[in-house]
Amino acid sequence: MTITSLFDRLLERGGSDLHLTPGYPPMLRVRGQLVADGDQELTSAQIEEMLMPLLSPEQEAQFTTTGDLDFAHAHGTKARFRANYLRKLTGTGAVFRAIPTTIKTLDELGVPAGIRKLTDLRAGLVLVTGPTGSGKSTTLAAMIDHINRTRAGHILTIEDPVEFVHAPRRCLVTHKEVGEHVPTFLDAIRSAGRENADVILVGELRGAETMKAALQLASFGILIYATVHTNSAGATIDRYVNAFPSEQQPQIRGLLADSLAGVVAQQLLPKADGKGRVAAHEILLGNLALASLIREGKTQQISSFIQSGSADGMQTMDASLEKLVREGVVKPHDALEKALDKEAFTKLLPAS
């Protein structure tokens, strides 16, 4: 058993993740479910034997020192993997997330019109949110790809590690990896303003300083895409403001009100036919009315604000889930599990 053969098996089965854990056989995540690949349990020594040849001397030194390592690995021309090495009670383990080499288009993903609107912007902050493994990177890659194909400009991506690699089409594309090309996200964002970028993708907004720097760049007339880990548009705005000390929050609310162009909250659900997964989206689009809600701290009103903006391309998470159930794409119980207001959602479901 080699790491190369496990990568091949994961790709053959259309899986998204490979887990290597001492005391278990290799585990593959296929259509959202973890399944064992064979029954040969791996020892920590066997896992280390597979893992260490993938590392540079610097990466090996970092993993030896910290017991944790994130990096990207190219599996020939077949795929790239986002890798996380970790140490735990039972020994050394790893998780590999497959990053397809071909970037799916917005059409192939079948995204709602509201998301397409967010790719036509010229400035502002767009936040794509959702739990780990909800397809945020795939959606963002499609949005960046659309811009790359439809207008001229300079796209800068700042990630840890770099995931999707965009070939220049109509745009000049610069990829920067945190830790490799630049020390931190904050350093990269601060220097981005001097690099004459029209569109900047920030893999993840970590910490108040980074969040503030991204907001300031958006206010300078740059289009910023970034990810955060929340499950709704309202919660995303609260998370952003609450990352700052209370004395700074009014200023941040003001900056957000001026610069927030949209929020896409995304979740993945298994399809009813068992053939893959489908995304449900909550979409919030910025306008003057939203700006005043943010400035006044009335985020609890955002859900009803989204409902009233459905003609403009906005939709709540629960409305997106209800539509998927109505069309027979997902099963009612899977949608209910992801619904934000479960009591109200139960009433929307068809009686069975």
Q: What is the pLDDT along the chain (352 residues), one digit of tens a residue?
A: 899 999 999 999 989 999 999 999 999 998 888 999 999 999 999 999 999 999 999 999 999 999 999 998 989 888 889 999 999 999 999 999 998 778 999 999 999 999 999 999 999 999 999 988 788 989 999 999 999 999 999 999 998 888 888 999 999 999 998 878 888 888 988 888 888 999 999 988 888 999 999 999 999 999 999 998 888 899 999 999 999 999 999 999 999 999 999 999 999 999 999 888 899 999 999 999 999 999 999 999 999 999 999 999 999 999 999 999 999 999 999 999 999 889 888 887 766 5
Q: Please state, as a whole number, how many other Cβ atoms lie within 10 Å of the Cβ of residue 179.
A: 14
Q: Are residues 121 and 14 in the same domain?
A: no
Instruction: Compute CA distances 55 → 62, 74, 106, whole Å.
Output: 10, 12, 34
Q: Are residues 43 and 160 in the same domain?
A: no
Q: Are residues 172 and 65 in the same domain?
A: no
Q: Are residues 170 and 225 in the same domain?
A: yes
Q: Are residues 54 and 190 in the same domain?
A: no
In this structure, are residues 253 and 295 in contact, taking their beta carbons and an 8 Å threshold?
yes
CA dihedral in degrees (298, 304, 310, 311; nearest 10)?
A: -80
For residue 77, give the amino acid letter: T
Tokens matching residue 23: 């005391």
- The residue behind tokens 């989204």 is 306
Q: Residue 219: in which H helix or E strand, if any?
A: helix 208-219
Q: Are residues 143 and 76 in the same domain?
A: no
The number of distinct structural domains making up the chain is 2
- Domain of residue 68 covers 3-100
The reported pLDDT for the residue numbered 350 is 66
Boundary-marking domain end, from 39, 71, 100:
100
Boundary-marking domain end, from 100, 129, 162:
100
Report the candidate in 144, 162, 163, 140 with the shortest Cα–Cα distance to residue 153: 144
Q: Are residues 115 and 56 in the same domain?
A: no
CATH of residue 33: 3.30.450.90
Q: Are residues 10 and 126 in the same domain?
A: no
In this structure, are residues 128 and 282 in contact, taking their beta carbons and an 8 Å threshold?
no
The reported pLDDT for the residue numbered 351 is 62
Q: Is 4 helix (H, G, I), strand (E, B) or coil?
A: helix
List b or e across 306-328, with b for residues whose CB sees 16 or more CB atoms inside 10 angstroms. Answer: beebeeebbbbbbbbbbebbeee
Q: Is the peptide bond before 161 cis (omega within 30 degrees of 0)?
A: yes
CATH of residue 239: 3.40.50.300
Report the candidate in 69, 59, 133 with the shortest Cα–Cα distance to residue 97: 133
Q: Are residues 229 and 131 in the same domain?
A: yes
Boundary-marking domain end, from 55, 77, 100:
100
